[in-house]
Chains A and B, each alone.
Chain A
């Protein structure tokens, strides 16, 4: 195995690793990353658009919950190695309850005998009190109250500054709720290099690095492989990414040797535009970042140099995600195989639609897909109209309703097709899950007051 580069004692280069790119991301590669990665910082990103609304709901149900349920396991796994190596942890997995998450982590630290460990808690993103029914939405031409669903909560996207404050105060672990994902990387860099909060060029460059890392495996070979066209070595054992960042904001994206995946010009390029709209105006609370002049250059095996990230003055307002009760989503399916599978599945679909409408009184949309013929791209009509002898078809049906009764009815009706549907139907499965929906609004910075607290084990 290749010798891993060590930490830079002079502090000219900061090594930041991503140890989770979504709420339920893989655990064990994060420990490997800490043990062999010589990291200054490790971050866990775990708050997709809707995750926080689910967390708010969990906290309403139980006051001491509402943070990522995997956080304690992750911390227990990596904390001893982080403590031994001086690697500091930053995470937004505090979700709807950063203080509750910090209390749980404090407990773990004490159990492990880590006296003196400092935990920074960043709060103030919860702006539920400030978003009234008359607040205008940014993604629909109406007010928050006109959505017509029960509001669960509202969270503003905080930036790097409160995390920097926690790191400045010596926090070994910083736990936040909603912050912009790239800020989890921008903050350690601001702290380490003492960048000013209006150094738009460096903040833009750092935001680009944070953006590249925040989805974890998506830059080390995940979401990339296409056999015959794009082969990825060791896809089952991908390693998490590392950025080595210099004071001017230039970076090298890399990964550990001896673990699966790779970092290539192509993996970096694909991730550069992931979930980006205008590449010259990527908005975060920290900066209006500009990726349009990015340079992506091979600098060795699994080493890609990125530079050219830029930025302009940060947006005046902060983005807010408002969570609403989304009703009940029901999904259910049944399969048909052999000769005539497609017409039998189509007949089953028509029976299902008729009974949901006429017997149960469903007026909301019911979608039926024929997996094996047309499903994901059925709306685009991209896979239809081909006359072939389909021999393995799954009818998949989905609805979303405010009435749990109707959601249950879909699962029951799908089961009913076993006995009362077309010949040879098998493999019925179905489930009902309570769901959330989100809307976006803007709020002035003055209305949001980030709060930083330090707990000591």
Chain B
């Protein structure tokens, strides 16, 4: 089994909402871990980790040159700001739900280290 790393050690995140759709953008702050996050932080990991919350389709967009991933999670806000009974009706705190995930550490190859 490969070594794991906590996402919060290598990335930051910001969450937003539109209706019942949440978007959580993840920014890899330590460039040498970009490939680790890109390979490990997948829509299926999100769905698997929080099956009761992230019940709808999850789409991942990637802006590689900015080391950013954007997750769009449909039906993820318990009805959204309109009808959610969650204290956090907007899902603003979801960013920190993601940052608590552990992902498998990809080997730090020299090429990764040279990235800006």
Contacts and interface: CB of A to CB of B under 8 A. Distances in A.
Do the two chains bind? yes
Contact of A382 (B61, B72, B92, B100): B100
Interface string A361-401: 00001110101000111111110000000000000101110
A8 interface: no
Given A49-B81, A50-B82, A365-B85, A380 B17 contact: no
Contacts of A366: 85
B17 A275 contact: yes
Given A49-B19, A400-B83, A380 B61 contact: no
B4 interface: no
Contacts, number: 108
B83 A437 contact: yes
A256 B54 CA distance: 41
A276 B22 CA distance: 9
Contacts of B86: 367, 369, 376, 378-379, 398
Interface residues of B, number: 37
Nearest to A399: B85
A273 B14 contact: yes
B85 A367 contact: yes
A292 B64 CA distance: 9
A98 B66 CA distance: 40
Report, as a range, how many residues of chain A touch the other chain.
Answer: 35 or more
Contacts of B20: 139
B12 interface: yes
A377 B93 CA distance: 8
Contacts of B12: 226, 229-230, 266, 270
Contacts of A367: 85-86
Given A276-B16, A278-B61, 16 more contacts: A139-B19, A139-B20, A270-B12, A270-B27, A273-B14, A273-B63, A274-B25, A275-B18, A276-B25, A277-B21, A365-B85, A366-B85, A379-B52, A382-B97, A400-B85, A440-B19
Interface of B: 8, 12, 14, 16-21, 23, 25, 27, 29, 50, 52-54, 59, 61, 63, 65-66, 68, 70, 72, 78, 81-83, 85-88, 92-93, 97, 100
The 4 closest A-B pairs by CB, nearest first: A275-B16, A273-B25, A367-B85, A437-B82
